[in-house]
Amino acid sequence: MAPQAAEAMARPDVMAIAEIRHFPVVEPGSGNRYSLLKITTRSGLIGWGECGHDPNADLKALQSAWVGRPANAYATIAPSTPFRAALDIAMLDILGKAANTPVYRVLGGPTRNKVRAYGSGEFPVAVIDVPAPASRNQGKAYENRILKLIEAIPADRDFVLAGNGLLTPGDAASVARTVETKHPLWFDEPCSHSNLDTVRKVSGETVAPLGFGEGIDDPGVFQALLREGLVDIVRPDIAIFGINGTRRIAALAEPYYVAVAPRHAGGPVGTAAAIHIAASIPNFFIQHVPGPADERDRAMRREIVSPALETNNGGFLDLPKAPGLGITVNESALEKYHAS
Amino acid sequence: MRRRNFLALGSAGAALAGTTLAGTKKRPVFQPDAACGCEFQVPAAGAGRGGRGAPAPDAFANLQSGIKITGLKVFGVSLTPDSDRPYVFVKIETNQGLIGWGEGTLEGKAGAVIACVNDFKDFLIGSDPMQVEHIWQSMYIHSFYRAGPVMGSAISGIDQALWDIRGKALGMPVYKLLGGPYDPRGVRGYYHVDGANRDQLIQIRETAGQLGVTCVKAGIPGYYEWIERRPKIDQAIKSIQTYREALGPDIDIAVDFHAKTSPSVASIIVKEVEPLNLLFIEEPCPPENIQAMAKIARRSTTPIATGERLISSYGTRELIEMGVVDILQTDINHTGGITGLWKVAASASVSGISMAPHSCEGPIGGLAAIHVDAAMPNFVVQEICGQVKPNANDKLWEEWLGFPAMRMVDGRFPLASKPGLGFELSEASLAKYPFGGTRPMARVFHDDGSVAEW
């Protein structure tokens, strides 16, 4: 596959990072921002990564920590590194290119031949957001409003009920019990995870699968949820954990028989990373793909990354076959959507 | 739909078989599904590749690497004809000439592991060796009973061989595929000093200093009843004190209780040796009862290490989530190979638990472990059951592999630079040590004839 790679890898100077560039971008319609990183090795290999927008992230600190170091050693990224998810994804992109194979194969995959996805209207799985409660402790009328939303979609269409952390413990439990016979795929963020007693209450009152991950940046939070059986779908955010960090949380969840559905609210480079995660772990269930409502945003996503990996193919995404992440990033388009 | 058709055929087949029996007196055809009548009896995968019940042959047709497994060989290697722990080596061959080696040595149960590796032949021949996670899952899950030590060791040997092939195919040492290394100089290791007396320990201290070895491991003498008498406890404490006195304050000392002690007896000894600042105490009680291990650990300031007999991340889950032990000693030859060890280490890191992988078998597992160690954020030290001064085993391993395998340089096991696991091994070199069969491991008894742990 890559007879030349061994030689290149044996000379660490060739695989050293020569340059790290940051491209902050913004979607013109939604205003959603994310950060792309471009890493170039001395040998000229290029890797792309993506992480969430963080105005305080220190690019100079990242550069002084990693320029000159080997571009393949993705496991050694310290958790405190700025842009760490983007760095991790870009380094795996480079590693795949050096090995002339897709990232999922570097990581022991493929474990599946397509990636189930949801997120916009074109995918078969619907997302039903709970209505923003007018006041706390909504009672039966509120539960009936949610039931009406569920009954508005065909009875055989799968759906995720998204609580978005808006509900009180009592309301979250009541809603979960009300909808559980409608068999949602899962109830996402039914309540805040910051108080485990709250999660215990909700989990104890329903058989609806529960998903958590919003804002979690410490794997220990997932461990706490898993240990007590409080979570059915762990949702590590790709923009926080990157590929390796998400795979490590998947490994943590596996002996609890718990599925992984990584969170992803960023751009198309993140989607590419998500596909490689899905195709390299055993306990993947579904991938959220951001589907902006504004056509300008959709055009931007198609413009900055090709091929269009976010294309719905019968409810699934296809696996790329090109080396690394399997994508090409259009740098001039990044300038066009630059977030100043 | 397939199932319904199949069941219908099954009963028709049974009726036909009866007719045939009456008519021609031929032996009746065994109809397992008709006999079972069991809803859950899924047709065997081996019943016909591409036939009923077999995995859809084209599921990954468009995602093939182009490499296919063409051969699986397993070698029992007895260094002495009556060895109780022959090495079990696995060799996987491919259509592109790439060869992978792995190790599934299980002390005292070599024959069982060899048979189990061969049981997996149908899972492997014709498969794409690059899909190691997929193959691992299939071996573990489709075996239905999940993995104990025999199946875990068989999976380990196969998994290591698949990673060896993966690295060779991708042109990289395995630790680079795993995102390492943390330290290009290698991974810190320790040798054994079992059975050395005070004078020998003083000599070892000097040799270790010259070699840059910073850590050794020793055992405790004798066998222990459920509750122990004062002389026996004093003897154990004194032996550990002797290690510290003779080896000095600068070398890290690990002490292996080898699960010879009950939690009750271990706790007493562990408390008395706290001032010696040991690196860790290993298996202060047997491994099955996590609560018992936790009880010892909670009353100790000395780090507690265990886990060499636990299989896969399923087997270590409870220990990790309780977060009471300090070090896991997962063995790459039993836990599920590189895939298994990586997952245990990733999970353990969430509890702040360090890894000191066990290695007391042949050289392949040890060399494989180094690759995973080099990519672990929570690695502390790698075992090898060699001595500070090289012995006959070391000489033999060097003969086999062409370099001083599992010998440290400046206190560290160096990293391979070649692709895969980084060594070559010929079948011919193993032929001098044919499999002598499975022999029982040591059987030890207390004075009253009752069974003792060793």
CB pairs under 8 A between A and B: 125
Q: Is the peptide bond before B377 cis (omega within 30 degrees of 0)?
A: no
The pTM assigned to this predicted structure is 0.93
Residues of B in Cβ contact (< 8 Å) with A219: 349-350
**Cβ A252–B176 below 8 Å, yes or no?**
no
Locate the chain B residue with the closest alpha carbon to A222: B350
- Contact call for A109 and B419, based on CB within 8 A: no
Banded pLDDT at A3 (limits 50, 70, 90): very low
Query: Which of B210, B214, B284 is CA-nearest to residue B252?
Result: B214
Residue A339 backbone dihedrals phi, psi, to 5 degrees: -95, 105
Angle (nearest 5°) at CA B73 between B311 and B375: 45
- Residue B320 and residue A83: Cα distance in Å, rounded? 29
Instruction: Find chain B residues with C-beta within 8 A of A107's C-beta.
Output: 133, 177
pLDDT band at residue B58 using 50, 70 and 90 as cut-offs: confident
Give the pair of three-digit tokens for residue A221.
């939070």
Which chain A positions have a beta carbon within 8 Å of B131's beta carbon? 108-111
C-alpha span between A307 and A327 (Å, rounded): 6
DSSP state of B100: E
According to the model, what pLDDT value does residue B108 have?
93
Q: Answer for the pair B341, A251: CB distance below 8 angstroms, yes or no.
A: no
CB contact under 8 A, B62 and A113: yes
Whether residue B48 has pLDDT greater than 70: no
Q: Which residues contact B280 (CB under 8 A, 6 or more apart)?
A: B254, B255, B302, B303, B304, B305, B326, B327, B356
Dihedrals phi, psi of A160, to nearest 5 degrees: -105, 130
Output the six-digit token pair for A277.
């995660």
Q: Are strands B87-94 and A287-288 parallel, antiparallel or unpaired?
A: unpaired
Element housing B72 (H / E) = strand B69-77
Q: Which of B148, B21, B128 is nearest to B67 (CA)?
A: B128
Nearest to A220 among B131, B313, B350 (CB): B350
Question: Which parts of A180-293 fold into alpha helices (H)?
Answer: 196-205, 219-227, 238-253, 268-278
Measured between CA atoms, how close is A58 to chain B, in angstroms? Answer: 23
**Mean pLDDT of all residues belonging to chain A:** 94
User: pLDDT category, B394, cuts 50, 70, 90?
Assistant: very high
> A96-153, pLDDT tens digit by residue?
999 999 999 999 999 999 999 999 888 999 999 999 876 666 788 899 999 999 999 9
CA atoms within 13 A on the CB side of B74: 25
Q: Do B179 and A73 touch (CB under 8 A)?
A: yes
- pLDDT tens across B87-125, in order? 999 999 999 999 999 999 999 999 999 999 999 999 999
> Taking the CA atoms of chain A, what radius of gyration do you get in angstroms?
21
Could you give the angle at which helices A219-227 and A238-253 cross, rounded to 10 degrees? Answer: 30
Going by pLDDT thresholds of 50, 70 and 90, the confidence category of residue B21 is: very low
Whole-number Å distance between alpha carbons of A201 and B114: 50
Mapped onto helix, strand or coil, the DSSP state of residue A174 is: helix
DSSP H or E segment with residue B14? helix B2-24
Name chain B contacts of A109, Cβ cutoff 8 Å.
131, 133-134
For residues B222 and B232, the answer to whether their CB atoms sit within 8 Å is yes
A252·B350 Cβ contact <8 A? yes
List of residues 6+ apart from B220 with CB closer than 8 A: B236, B239, B240, B255, B256, B257, B258, B260, B261, B269
From the list A2, A108, A247, which residue is nearest B171 (CB)?
Answer: A2
Report d(CA A159, CA A106) in Å as an integer: 33
Residues of B in contact with A1 (CB under 8 A): 65, 169-171
Contact A10 B417 (CB under 8 A): yes
ipTM (interface pTM): 0.95
N- to C-terminal Cα separation, chain A: 42
pLDDT score for B44: 56
Residue A89's contacts (CB-CB under 8 Å, 6 or more residues apart) are A37, A47, A48, A49, A50, A51, A238, A242, A243, A269, A270, A273, A325
Q: Judge whether B386 and B427 are in contact, CB under 8 Å.
A: no
A284 touches A275 (CB < 8 A): no
Q: Do B346 and A254 touch (CB under 8 A)?
A: no
Q: Measured between CB atoms, which of B314, B317, B350 is closest to A219?
A: B350
Helix, strand, coil shares of chain A, percent, nearest 5, are: 40, 20, 40
Rounded Cα distance, B393 and B387, in Å: 10
Q: What are phi and psi of A171, to 5 degrees?
A: -65, -40
Q: Which amino acid is at A278?
A: A
**Stretch B368-388: mean pLDDT:** 97
Q: What is the pLDDT of residues A44-93, one digit of tens each?
A: 999 999 999 999 999 999 999 999 999 999 999 999 999 999 999 999 99
Query: Beta strands B327-328 and B304-306: pairing type?
Result: parallel
Q: Which residues pair with B104 in a beta bridge?
A: none
CB–CB contact B314 A106 (8 Å): no
Chain B residues near residue A256 by CB distance under 8 angstroms: 317
Chain B residues in contact with A236 by the CB 8 A cut-off are none
pLDDT-based confidence at residue B195 (cuts at 50, 70, 90)? confident
State residue B147's pLDDT score. 87
Of B118, B69, B120, B75, nearest in space to B96 by CA: B69
Which amino acid is located at B453 in the chain? E
Kindly list the catalytic residues of B. 258, 358
Of the candidates B59, B350, B375, the beta carbon closest to that of A75 is on B375
Residues with Cβ within 8 Å of B203's Cβ and at least 6 positions away in sequence, in order, are none
Cβ pair B350:A5 closer than 8 A: no
* pLDDT tens per residue across span A204-256: 999 999 999 999 999 999 999 999 999 999 999 999 999 999 999 999 999 99
Is the CB of residue B204 less than 8 Å from the CB of residue B216?
A: yes
Distance in angstroms (rounded) separating the CA atoms of residues B67 and B92 = 12
Chain B: nearest CA to A255, how far in angstroms? 5
Report the residue of chain A nearest B64, measured CA to CA. Answer: A110
* B388 to chain A, closest Cα gap in Å: 30
